[in-house]
């Protein structure tokens, strides 16, 4: 029988959405990882889930520990223009109680493997310059800095620089 510390990475299902919503809202309230000041409603999260239905090309995974969602990650459209279709944006979030356990790395690895299987060419991530943990995670997984966008985001009255990182898959 698996230990409660074992992490299972699997497709996000509707039953995960309450935890997905709570993890995202914690990131909104307490970090610069998600550049919005507005908390997400369950309807917002359900709309997001429908946009990440694997049948339309984009997808989400959940990290399960002891039957609880400890984190989630997704591959989303980079831009809505069809010429950008081979490129996807990556997002990874881990519950505050489960950070530092390698969950983000397992989620990012699973996203990359599925993105390759689906023939994405490039993965891209936008990370605030103060998010050293995420910058390190992406570097560790082969993402390279493409540049820094100066003061392009505003959160809590503060302008933030955003680092663009990307990884070529093909």
Structural domains of the chain sorted by starting position, each given as residue range(s) with its CATH number in brackets: 7-120 (3.40.630.30)
What pLDDT was estimated at residue 53?
A: 77
Return contacts of 132-141, CB within 8 angstroms, 24+ apart. Answer: 133/99, 134/33, 134/92, 134/104, 135/163, 135/165, 137/92, 137/104, 137/105, 137/108, 138/108, 138/165, 138/167, 139/165, 140/105, 141/105, 141/108, 141/109, 141/112, 141/167
Tens of pLDDT along the chain (170 residues) come to 344 469 999 999 999 999 999 999 999 999 999 999 999 999 999 999 998 876 678 999 999 999 999 999 999 999 989 999 999 999 999 999 999 999 999 999 999 999 999 999 999 999 999 999 999 999 999 999 999 999 999 999 999 999 999 999 98
Res 57: pLDDT: 81
């Amino acid at each position: 029988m698996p230990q409660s510390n074992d992490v299972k990475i699997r497709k996000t299902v509707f039953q995960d959405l309450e935890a997905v919503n709570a993890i995202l809202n914690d990131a909104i309230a307490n970090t610069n990882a998600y550049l919005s000041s507005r908390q997400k409603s369950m309807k917002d999260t359900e709309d997001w889930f429908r946009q990440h239905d694997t049948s339309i090309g984009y997808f989400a995974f959940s990290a399960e520990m002891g039957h609880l969602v400890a984190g989630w990650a997704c591959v989303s459209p980079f831009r809505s223009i069809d010429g950008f279709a081979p490129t996807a944006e990556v997002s990874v979030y881990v519950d505050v109680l489960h950070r530092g356990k390698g969950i983000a790395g397992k989620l990012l690895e699973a996203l990359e493997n599925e993105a390759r299987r689906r023939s994405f060419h490039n993965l891209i991530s936008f990370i605030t310059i103060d998010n050293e943990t995420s910058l390190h995670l992406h570097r560790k997984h082969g993402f390279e800095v493409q540049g820094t966008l100066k003061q392009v985001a505003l959160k809590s009255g503060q302008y933030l620089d955003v680092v663009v990182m990307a990884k070529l898959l093909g």
